[in-house]
Amino acid sequence: MHQNEHSFDPHPTASAITDSRGSYDERLNHILTAATAAMARLGYAKASMREVAKAAGVSLAGLYHYFDSKERMLFLIQFRAFGSLLNNLREKLCGVDDPQDQLRVMVREHLAYFAANMGALKVCSHELDSLTGSAYDETRDIRYEYYGVTRRIIDRLLDARGGMAHTDRHVATMALFGTLNWLYRWYDPRRGPSVSTVANQIADQFLQGLLGVPASENESTQETVP
Amino acid sequence: MHQNEHSFDPHPTASAITDSRGSYDERLNHILTAATAAMARLGYAKASMREVAKAAGVSLAGLYHYFDSKERMLFLIQFRAFGSLLNNLREKLCGVDDPQDQLRVMVREHLAYFAANMGALKVCSHELDSLTGSAYDETRDIRYEYYGVTRRIIDRLLDARGGMAHTDRHVATMALFGTLNWLYRWYDPRRGPSVSTVANQIADQFLQGLLGVPASENESTQETVP
DNA sequence: ATAAATCGAGCGAACGTTCGTTCGTCTATA
DNA sequence: TATAGACGAACGAACGTTCGCTCGATTTAT
């Protein structure tokens, strides 16, 4: 039996044997994309399997060849999104040593991923408690790793320079995550200011709020990605 | 017919004529409290009327003497919470002229209300899109007023002192709301640092991030409420 | 080479359950 | 006696899921 092993896109090329019109993985991704859009629009509970099937262009029963349950569908969406978010962050953090630069990279990459996958990140932010059992545990573990990477940057920031005296580092980290995870409620990259503008402002405000130093000007105008 | 007029607690005393064991308003508030808890725990869609009835100690059909629909129940929860949040803020802002003090008051009062009504604020933050039609419009209007009060404080902050050069004020406001509205995901006032500690840190970080000046020490250790 | 068997993919139809809501009735109070 | 409050029972609709089947392509056996 197939029963999707959830690897988050090791390499997009050469993923399947068959082709011509839609391999197994391609069809799975297609359905997952439709499901993500439906769940982002209606929420997990109200996005029915019938809606997803209609949007994906398959029958209701056909869905169950790819996912043994609705919850597993949500799990795959969250697992892949969180996974690639975390992998991408670790990758982009390689070779960056200054904690201030690291935090700017974190904010910039988070917003870049948000802009490229708004639906998926909305589902990730809004449906954190919709999974149960081991599926919940697995996504929680990834989220905690993502938190840990960010938290360690903040630790280094406050250890290096004194910063404010009595700063609870958990509160500081969650304040930043609050700003980032709330983006899906109001920010539309196609309408508002550019992704890099918002990313720079959020990073500047956070760094200045944490350390009390003005934003370094050399980073503020840097583009998002080469 | 009664059909609840939604006034958000003009004065808690002398609200009804009858008493002895539960007036109409008292029973309505009792049910609303149970509904708030259930919706905070399970989410609006998964919190069934049967669950609410059981938690409130009334029959399923008995609920419909107080609310003509499930959606109206959610509306009343949100309308009252947003309404008292806004009214309380405006009240506490009276006589406070310095914009920095105003922002500290806003953050402090928001956290105080959060600590006192965690379930209601969770429902308000998490179920923003669960209302439809005029019910949605009405809560959106209140939310926009709440935004406006905060936004005007931030405008005054940036107009008075220069602050950073290119600050998008909408982005700055939503960054703060993100931090505040995300609280329900991680902060438990009974376990973590005190409400005033968290409020002071959030306000300090935000003010310093916006204006680039260290936090004024006289306000940082002030208690939450007399 | 051809027939038989196997398999993946997909579908219509239905299953049992749960949902929000309504109806008719009972009861206590005024 | 009239009325507000509360209830059990039931309604139709929608839900996630499963069942039995079909249709091609691929593999195996003859």
Min Cα–Cα distance to chain A from B61, Å = 24
Domains of chain A, each with CATH number or no CATH: 74-220 (1.10.357.10)
Give dist(CA B57, CA B52) in Å, integer.
8
pLDDT, residue A214, reads 61
The CA distance from A73 to A26, in Å, is: 15
Q: What integer pLDDT is reported at residue A24 of this predicted model? A: 83
Cα B164–Cα B165–Cα B167 angle in degrees, nearest 5: 75
Q: Which of B212, B181, B211 lies closest to B81 in space, CA to CA?
A: B181
Among A208, A213, A219, the residue to mutate for chain B (most B Cβ within 10 A): A208
DSSP summary character for residue B216: P
- Assembly ipTM: 0.88
Closest CA to B28 of B58, B71, B48: B58
- Chain A interface, mutation test: which of B144, B174, B202, most A Cβ atoms within 10 Å? B174
CB-based contacts of A14, cutoff 8 Å, min separation 6: none
pLDDT in tens, B173-200: 999 999 999 999 999 999 989 999 999 9
**Would you state the pLDDT for residue B19?**
35
DSSP H helices in chain B: 24-42, 49-56, 60-63, 70-93, 99-116, 118-126, 133-160, 169-181, 195-211, 217-220
Measure the N-to-C terminal CA separation of chain A; round to a whole number of Å. 42
Residues lining strand D at under 7 Å (Cβ) are A 46-51, 60-61, 63-64, 68-71; B 2, 22, 24, 27, 58-62, 65
As given in the structure block, the two tokens for residue A190 are: 């196609």
Structure tokens at A177: 């995550």
Give the confidence band of B62 by pLDDT, cuts at 50, 70, 90. very high
CA distance A191 to B11: 43
Q: Which strand D nucleotides have any atom less than 7 A from protein CB atoms?
A: 4-10, 14-20
Q: Which nucleotides of C are covered by protein (CB under 7 A)?
A: 8-14, 18-24, 30
Asked whether the predicted pLDDT for residue B135 surpasses 90, the reply is: yes
Nearest CA distance, A161 vs chain B (angstrom): 15
Q: Smallest CA–CA separation between A174 and chain B, in Å?
A: 8
CA A51 – CA B58 distance, rounded (Å): 35
Q: Give per-10-residue mean pLDDT for chain A (226 aa).
A: 49 34 83 96 96 94 94 97 98 96 98 98 97 96 98 95 78 98 98 96 96 58 40
Q: Do A180 and B177 touch (CB under 8 A)?
A: no
Q: What is the pLDDT of residue A5?
A: 58
Q: How many residues are recorded in chain B?
A: 226
Give the pLDDT confidence score for residue B178 in this predicted structure.
98
Integer Cα distance of B221 and B217 in angstroms? 7
The answer on pLDDT for B13 being more than 90 is no
Size of interface A-B (CB pairs under 8 A): 114
Q: Give the pLDDT score at B23.
A: 82
Length of chain A in residues, anyone? Answer: 226
Residues of B in contact with A150 (CB under 8 A): none
| pLDDT at residue number B9 | 41
Question: In sequence order, which residues have a C-beta less than 8 Å from that of residue B13 and are 6 or more positions away?
Answer: none
Distance A99 CA to C12 C1' (A): 59
Average pLDDT, chain B: 87
What does the pLDDT read at residue A96? 97
| Residue nearest the C1' of C19 (CA based) | B48
**Cα A16 from Cα A5, distance rounded (Å):** 13
DSSP 3-state assignment of B36?
helix
Q: Which residues are in reach of strand C, CB within 7 A?
A: A 1-2, 22, 24, 27, 58-62, 64-66; B 18, 46-51, 60-61, 63-64, 68-71
List, for residues B21-40, the tens digit of each pLDDT value. Answer: 478 788 899 999 999 999 99
Q: Å from A68 (CA) to D19 (C1')?
A: 15
Residues A175-187 as b or e (16 or more Cβ within 10 Å = b): bbbbbbbbbbbeb
Nucleotide at minimal C1' distance from the A52 CA? D16
A61 CA from C14 C1′ (Å): 12
* Contacts A208 to B, Cβ<8 Å: 164, 208-209, 212
Q: Read off the amino acid at residue A174.
A: M
pLDDT at residue B165 in the model: 66
Q: Which of B48, B123, B171 to mutate to test the interface with A (most CBs of A within 10 A)?
A: B171
